[in-house]
Every structure is written in C-alpha cells, then in structure tokens.
A and B are shown apart, each in its own frame.
Chain A
Amino acid sequence: MSLIEKILQGDHKATAKLISKIEDEPTSTLKEIKVLEERIVPVHTLGITGPPGVGKSTLIARLIEHYREKNKKVGVLAIDPSSPFTGGALLGDRIRMQMPSPDEGVFIRSMATRGQLGGLSRATNNAIKVLSGWGADIVIVETVGAGQAEVEVMRVADTIVLVLSPGLGDDIQMMKAGILEIGDIFVINKIDQGETGHLERNLELVRPGREKEGWVPAIIKTIAIKGSGIDELYKKIEKHRKYLKNKK
C-alpha cells in the first residue's frame, strides 16, 4: 500500500514519515502532496499565537480534550525555534499536551523553524494537508513564541487566536501594527495572575478596525491550567468557523 493510502487510513507512522519528508526534502514530495490535495477536503485550521510563556500549549491541551469529547480527530503542529548558531532545537510544547494515555484520534507533531522567519516552519502548510489526509477534523497550529511581526500564521490558518496574559505592554504597544491586527479571537490567559482590566480596555481599542468585515474579535478570559473559559473559547472558534463558511 502506498504511503498516501496508509495516511488516508489514519496510519500514524505513515503520517509522521511524510511530514519528515516534507521537512527534509520538500521537492521530492510535490507529487505526493498533489495526490493528497485531490483526495482531501481542506480542514479547518486554527492558529494559536502569542508571546512566549502566555500558555499557548496548555490552552491547546484543553482544546484537544474539548474536541475529543465531541469525537473530533485533532491534529496539532507545534512549532519551536531552531538555533541560529547550531541549527539544533529543543521542542518542548508536547510536555503540556501529554494525555494520560495515547489516543488514536490525536496526532501531535513538533516542528523546528529551521531558519524560517515569521513564526512557522517552511513545512507547516503541507504538513496541514497531511494531517487533513490523516483525517483531522481540526488542525491546530501553534506558532513559536511570537513578538510583534510573526504573522505568517495568517497565511495558513482560518481562525487565529491571539493569546496574551496580564502585564504585557501599554496602550502604545497595542496601537502598533503587526500581530495584534491578525487575531480573530483574543484570549487573555492566566487571569488569576494579575489585573486584566487594562489589557482588556486596550484590546478593545484595537478591535473596531475589523467591524466592517462582519466579525468583531471577541475577548475571552481563561485560566487554561484549570480549564476555565475553555468552553467559551471553543464556542467562539466554532462560531468563527461558521462565519467563514457563510462568507464564502
């Protein structure tokens, strides 16, 4: 059986192998990607971005649980930076996403940026297609800890969740161009760790610019580690998915 057939049957090893091939020898996989594209329906892709340490991985872990309760298959691509000096990388996003026992309906892959700027790796876009072939009902892409200009995720994700936490910047920071403009949903995580009113008011200043498109980015407050606010986030993501569908 070909690699593609195995992937389409939900085989984890075949899925992992093709993602590696896309990372290592991208040009050799063009044919496979084309075959895959003919066989799949594009999967809803959720981008999770935000500065380092705000709780992106923990939030994803909670979302995985939520989607699994609804029997949806979840693919995750978790991206961390490669060293500019050695090319090595420490990929640690999985630590927060460990489930008590492995679940056939969840496929998590850690990826290093390998010199690519913008918060993703070069292989991300095609890796999403592979996970779509594997049968994912949703693919979650976690960017590297993002600063202000890591906005590449907008090219691959349908819905973008920007995660922030209390204590980040003043109103001028919020007025700058870049990452704050791309969020479809804003999350203020770790709301038990400080005052959030200031951040919330500043985010509200950023929002109105996109009203004419018919979608007002919501601001959702969570404590990911305790699971609080996740249901609301899930509902908002699904609402955005429907909004995009109607827009087409």
Chain B
Amino acid sequence: MRKKIRVLIAKPGLDGHDRGAKVVAKALRDAGMEVIYTGIRQTTEQIVNTAIQEDVDCLGLSILSGAHVKLFPEIVELLKKRGGEKILIFAGGIVPSEDIPELESIGISKIFGPGTSTQEIIDFIKTQIGADRKRR
C-alpha cells in the first residue's frame, strides 16, 4: 500500500481564529491526506508532542497573532529535541514579508500568505514529501 501523507494542522499561541486552518485541513483531506487538527490555542509543547505521537510527515502552522517570530523557532527547537527534525514545516496566516527570510533560515520551508490557493499548498506538500521519500 502506498504510504499516506499525514499532516498536523496546528494553531500555536493565543489567536482564536481558525477558519483558515480549517479550510486548509479540509482541502488536504480532499487531496487524500490524513489530517490531524487539534484546535486553537495550542502551546508549542502540545504541538510538538502531537506531531511526534502522530508520526506526521508535515506540520502546518497557522498564525494570525503576530507571535510567529517567538513561537516558530521554539517549535523548530522542540522538534529537534524530540527527534522530529525531518518533519516538513510550513506556515500560513499573517506573517509580514520582512520576517520571512529569518523564519525560512531556521527551517520553516514555506510561508503561504493570504490569497494562496489551496491547490498551491497541496502541490507544495506532495512535491516536497515525494522528493523526501525518494531520498530515503
């Protein structure tokens, strides 16, 4: 059987708006992926714990609060500590363009801003995970 792509869609920090995260979760589901959604207001520890237990291939972070510069590096570090450094991380929400290079340099593979089509996200994940699996 072909291995299923497993994705965790998570909302770190204190913003309570998850329409975007739900739209993405459903689009990925309809693209044949197994999507774990854990709801709003998650701590970085909760997100990393879920990612490890669920053995996900990728982690999508949705954030609108502006705390990405603080929270994203924390998640990257915690994942490394728990042996999850191979998990592909992408993000979406409101992230000013001047913050993107810094976040990409620590290991956030891609940040999707407002107006991104869900197909773009699906294609990105399938290409990245496909390439990653071939390398192994």
Contact = CB atoms under 8 A, between A and B. Distances in A.
B61 interface: no
Nearest to A15: B53
A112 B4 contact: yes
B28 A94 contact: no
Interface stretch (B30-38, B92-100, B103-111): B30-38
B44 to A, nearest CB: 10
B84 interface: yes
30 contacts: A12-B52, A12-B53, A12-B82, A15-B53, A16-B55, A19-B55, A23-B4, A24-B4, A25-B1, A25-B3, A86-B29, A86-B31, A88-B28, A88-B33, A88-B34, A89-B35, A90-B29, A90-B35, A91-B35, A94-B37, A94-B38, A94-B50, A98-B46, A102-B46, A102-B48, A109-B54, A110-B34, A110-B36, A112-B4, A114-B4
B38 A95 contact: yes
Across the A-B interface, the 9 shortest Cβ-Cβ residue pairs:
A102-B49, A16-B55, A88-B29, A95-B39, A20-B55, A86-B32, A88-B32, A24-B3, A91-B36
Given A86-B30, A91-B36, A101-B46, 5 more contacts: A86-B32, A87-B4, A88-B31, A95-B37, A108-B53
Contacts, number: 86
B30 A88 contact: yes
Chain A binding site: helix, strand, loop or mixed by DSSP? mixed
Contacts of A107: 53
B83 to A, nearest CB: 5
Nearest to A87: B32
Contacts of A15: 53
B1 A16 contact: no
B31 A101 contact: no
Contacts of A148: none
Interface in B46-84: 46, 48-50, 52-55, 82-84
Which of A15, A16, A88, A102: most chain B Cβ within 10 A?
A: A88
A83 B53 contact: no
Interface size class of B (residues with CB under 8 A): 20 to 34
Interface residues of A, number: 31
Nearest to B29: A88
A101 B47 CA distance: 10
Nearest to B27: A88
Contacts of A95: 37-39
A92 interface: yes
A124 to B, nearest CB: 15
Given A98-B42, A101-B45, A112-B34, A90 B4 contact: no
Nearest to A85: B30
A109 to B, nearest CB: 6
Nearest to B41: A98
B17 interface: no
B25 interface: yes
Given A24-B3, A101-B46, A89 B34 contact: yes
Interface in A1-57: 12-13, 15-17, 19-20, 23-25
Contacts of A102: 45-46, 48-49
Contact of B38 (A82, A88, A98): A98
Contact of B39 (A20, A89, A98): A98
B53 A16 contact: yes
